[in-house]
């Protein structure tokens, strides 16, 4: 008998690429079932930060925990969204170091599917974290004083900016030698960006040199835009600047990340 082996297609069509991407996105989401700590981390950490900043720092910063909650929750949404881009980097790095990418490379799937699937799955997790933080904030007394459209717009803007900044995290995740190094490098990048912005305190309280940086910090514009969408204030200009910064992150980091990604797959 003569064995007949069907030739694998050299290219994967758009439809198949989409199906494979969604399959791998589902794989990332199903992992939560086998690792419940991931969902607990995604749920508990935002609530912990909200409670700590509101009840430990709120009275000192705003004179009232209620007033500070109203000011800080939009900034905490921004902080949480940006910090959660670390999970994309750590997840990719873990797949690489554990040999998952080597197994995927042997399959007749689109080479971009593992990366796209991870990003889509993390986008769903971002939506969950946003809903949880806003919902718990409302239990504590936070109120959206604009409209439902403003709430949806805030979520959409956060997702767009987080996806754009994820390319920087993806590059770090692909280049770092271990998940621990990914966390160290990414955290050292995100922490200064967040805490030198207007996300958690009014930038007017900064010394002059720090305020000058805060005025161009992309996190400041994003926090101001989210704050405007949820509780009122200027929206158009900080939103435009946030989108321009997002485009810049994509233009700079996406080609670099894709080049490194292709070398791995």
Over the chain, what is the mean pLDDT? 85
Give residue-wise pLDDT tens across range 195-233: 999 999 998 889 999 999 999 999 999 999 999 999 999
Confidence (pLDDT) at 212: 94
Model confidence band, residue 115 (pLDDT cutoffs 50, 70, 90): confident
Give residue-wise pLDDT tens across range 36-87: 676 777 778 889 989 999 999 888 888 889 999 999 999 999 998 888 888 7
Confidence (pLDDT) at 99: 75
Question: Which one is predicted more confidently, 38 or 179?
Answer: 179
Confidence (pLDDT) at 264: 62
Measuring CA to CA, which residue among 36, 73, 91 is closest to residue 154? 73
Domain boundaries defined on the chain = 35-264
d(CA 64, CA 108): 59
DSSP codes of every residue in 22-59: HHHHHHHHHHHHH-HHHHHHHHHHHHHHHHHIIIIIHH
């Amino acid at each position: 008998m003569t064995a007949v082996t069907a030739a694998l297609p050299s290219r994967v069509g758009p439809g198949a690429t989409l199906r494979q991407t969604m399959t791998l996105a589902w794989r990332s989401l199903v992992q939560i079932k086998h690792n419940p700590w991931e969902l607990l981390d995604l749920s508990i950490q935002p609530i912990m930060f909200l409670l700590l900043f509101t009840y430990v720092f709120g009275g000192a910063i705003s004179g009232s925990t209620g007033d500070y909650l109203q000011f800080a929750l939009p900034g905490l949404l921004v902080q949480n969204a940006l910090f959660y881009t670390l999970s994309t980097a750590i997840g990719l790095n873990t797949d690489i170091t554990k040999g998952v990418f080597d197994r995927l490379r042997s399959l007749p799937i689109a080479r971009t599917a593992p990366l796209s699937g991870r990003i889509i799955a993390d986008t769903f997790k971002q939506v969950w974290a946003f809903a949880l933080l806003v919902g718990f904030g409302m239990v504590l007394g936070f109120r959206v004083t604009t409209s439902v459209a403003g709430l949806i717009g805030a979520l959409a803007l956060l997702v767009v900016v987080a996806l754009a900044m994820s390319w920087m995290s993806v590059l770090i995740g692909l280049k770092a030698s271990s998940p621990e190094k990914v966390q160290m490098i990414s955290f050292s990048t995100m922490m200064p960006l967040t805490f030198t912005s207007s996300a958690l305190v009014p930038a007017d309280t900064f010394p002059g040199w720090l305020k000058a940086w805060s005025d161009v910090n992309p996190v400041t514009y994003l926090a101001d835009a989210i704050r405007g969408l949820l509780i009122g204030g200027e929206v158009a200009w900080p939103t435009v600047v946030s989108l321009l910064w997002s485009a810049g992150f994509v233009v700079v980091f996406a080609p670099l990340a894709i080049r490194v990604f292709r070398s791995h797959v």
